[in-house]
Structure 1
């Protein structure tokens, strides 16, 4: 081997080393499928992403088995579309893996090139990238946007109800303006609490003081020990939104839609370190269970579950009741 040949080999080896380093740094799974032989070649990262051990060869069924059943048809359709093109070409697909032992799925993106010859598809060469973080961020952003739209709609409805109820009891224009302004300020204050929480637990009394003022706090009976409950920092937003949602629904449909209706909050026995708070409506219209759960109810239930809590809704004919469970915060 002469010097020029050795230099060429060394150059190729260096390029390969750089390519492998770049692939590793990007976390890419690299693979090739020899369609006619049915053979798959995966690098270690691709095996890791798709949950296939290193102790055996892989076949196409291994790959298909690691695509979530709900996404499998779309993945296969993407491949067929590229394979049907005369020249072959690129394909891009995104899919979930089946849930793992923790119940979570991983989002993967695959980019590949379909190589064809006169006899049809010869091989498919591609790369796999974990996009779980991106997908999670997109889902959170979508949830936030939906929640904001929901809050805005509820806000307008609450304001209209506040105006109506304030006008009903006002003796003159000034009294009406003063009470209305105070209630609207309290409503804004409650929204600030939801979005700006200090890095500590919060007494439930402070939360209730803001959350319930827009709904006429005089119509709420707060039982012994309720105000002293400490709400953990990471649960304050969820609990504040829940109280706001329950009061909103009480104004629109429940006890607070009637002039004689009231709401009682009390503390019931709970395991050590946990809180069992009951929201009980009475004196309102006859209650019937809804045919489906609203977006707000679903969101708040999920929020509390993410913080180790839950909400149990009971549509008793004499008055709606909610049992709210969440971990107690530390002082």
Structure 2
């Protein structure tokens, strides 16, 4: 009876071990053990995979630092030192990267372990490693997005403050102030919609032109087809949208679009430099007289693209206003 019971107990233990091994494999856990006195390391297949170690390579503790990212080695040493100075059977946990190789980027590892001690000190360490690279990548992306949102929010507030201050100087009534300010803010909002709708870091200029010129009767614009395929960075989109809105508004108020037969031509001009060159030309409108003072629109033409590596040169020709717009584009 005893032998039968021992056999049954052994079978139960083996079944439990199989279940434990299956659970460890499903969780993707790398298991490790360190014999402190001999220095020998025992790693399961998953742990060797995490660190890029061959299945049959003997390992000792002397090999371990070279498998850790150089920037994280002190962190690993400090975590072990604090645990070794702690109470009996101390637990420790840390996050670190593996060593980068020519074949693979570093992985992020969550390492948990327990130090087993006797009267003379630590005799053995056992633990597990878990690949948390995906989680770390998500955290980095979230942090990047938050920083970008903060940056854009700050820039947006500064632009709106400028809008309010400069618009107030150029209008005579509260109604005019509201109309001009709301139009400029709506242009910002429309361009931001384009940025958020694209999953890429750039946008086709054709998409922006379609959105920015819609309120001004697109049939009165002659647009060079080559412009549509140029791509501009998301950082450039809002600046370019504001510029196009200001040019179109001025054309409606004072320029070609204020006359029934007036038209606006947008063409790409050859440019040997790294930037693209767009020329805005108005024809068929009233005779143009250079402004007696620099209004907000003129200042906007000067500064709109400067922070993004572009620039605008305006010319108040008698036959029609012109602007040469140079701006960086995304290259393939």
Q: TM-score, normalised by structure 1?
A: 0.69
Which SS does the other structure have where 2:330 is aligned?
Answer: strand
Total equivalences in the alignment: 270
- Residues 138-153 of structure 1 correspond to what in structure 2 (within 5 A)? 138-153=139-154
Q: Give how far 1:70 is off.
A: 0.9
Q: 1:240 aligns with which of 225, 231, 234?
A: 234
Distance in 2, Cα, partners of 1:129 & 1:46: 9
Q: Report the counterpart of residue 60 of structure 2 in structure 1.
A: 59
- Quickly say closer, same or farther: Cα 1:276–1:11, change in 2 above 3 A: farther
Pairwise CA distance, 1:323: 3.4
Corresponding residue for residue 258 of structure 1 = none
Give distance in 2, aligned partners of 1:15 and 1:55.
27
Higher CA-based Rg: 2
- Contact 1:31 1:43 survives alignment (8 Å): yes
1:96 aligns to 2:97 (yes or no): yes
Which residue pairs with 2:127 in the alignment?
126
Q: Which residue matches 2:5?
A: 4
The 4+ residue runs of structure 1 with deviation greater than 4 A are: 208-213, 222-226, 245-248, 264-270, 278-285
Q: How does 1:54-93 map to 2 (within 5 A)?
A: 54-93=55-94
Is structure 2 residue 174 aligned with structure 1 residue 169?
no
- Structure 1 residue runs of 5 or longer lacking an equivalent are 214-221, 232-237, 249-263, 291-296, 298-312
Partners of 1:211 and 1:147 lie apart in 2 by 24
* 8 Å CA contact 1:93, 1:109 repeated in 2: yes
- Between the aligned partners of 2:191 and 2:97, the Cα distance in structure 1 is 39
Asked whether 1:326 is paired with 2:325, we answer no
In structure 2, the residue matched to 1:178 is: 179
Q: Deviations over 1:75-127 (max 9, x none)?
A: 11011000011314110010111223267321111000011100100010000
Tell me how far apart the structure 2 counterparts of residues 166 and 226 of structure 1 sit (CA, whole Å).
35
Structure 1 residue 146: Cα displacement: 1.2
Alpha-carbon distance in structure 1 between the residues aligned to 2:147 and 2:82: 34
Counterparts of residues 202-217 of structure 1 (less than 5 Å): 203-208=204-209, 210=211
Displacement after TM superposition at 1:283 (Å)? 8.5
Q: Is the 8 A contact 2:277 2:326 kept in 1?
A: yes
1:293 counterpart residue number: none
**Residue matched to 2:193:** 192
1:279 & 1:91 partners in 2: Cα distance? 61
Q: SS at the partner of 1:38?
A: coil
Alignment CA distance shift 1:210-1:163 (3 Å): farther
Partner residue, 2:113: 112
Distance 1:192 1:146 in 2: 19
Deviations 1:188-224 (CA, angstroms, capped at 9, x unpaired): 122222222499x9741332465799xxxxxxxx994
TM-score, structure 2 as length reference: 0.69
What is the aligned partner in structure 2 of residue 255 from structure 1? Answer: none
CA deviations 1:162-181 (Å, max 9, x no partner) are 22232232243322211111
- For 1:53, what is the secondary structure of its paired residue? coil
Map 1:164-313; keep pairs closer than 5 Å: 164-197=165-198, 203-208=204-209, 210=211, 224-225=224-225, 227-229=227-229, 231=231, 239-244=233-238, 277=276, 284=302
CA 1:283–1:149: 2 relative to 1, 3 Å: closer
- Deviations along 1:242-269, one digit per CA (max 9) or x if unpaired, are 3336889xxxxxxxxxxxxxxx995768
Query: Taking structure 1 as reference, are residues 265 and 146 closer, same or farther at Cα in structure 2, changes over 3 Å only?
Result: farther
Corresponding residue number in structure 2 for 1:235: none
Q: Is the 8 A contact 1:93 1:111 kept in 2?
A: yes
In structure 2, list runs of 5 or more residues that go unmatched: 215-221, 243-265, 280-298, 312-324
Q: Which moved more, 1:104-113 or 1:157-166?
A: 157-166
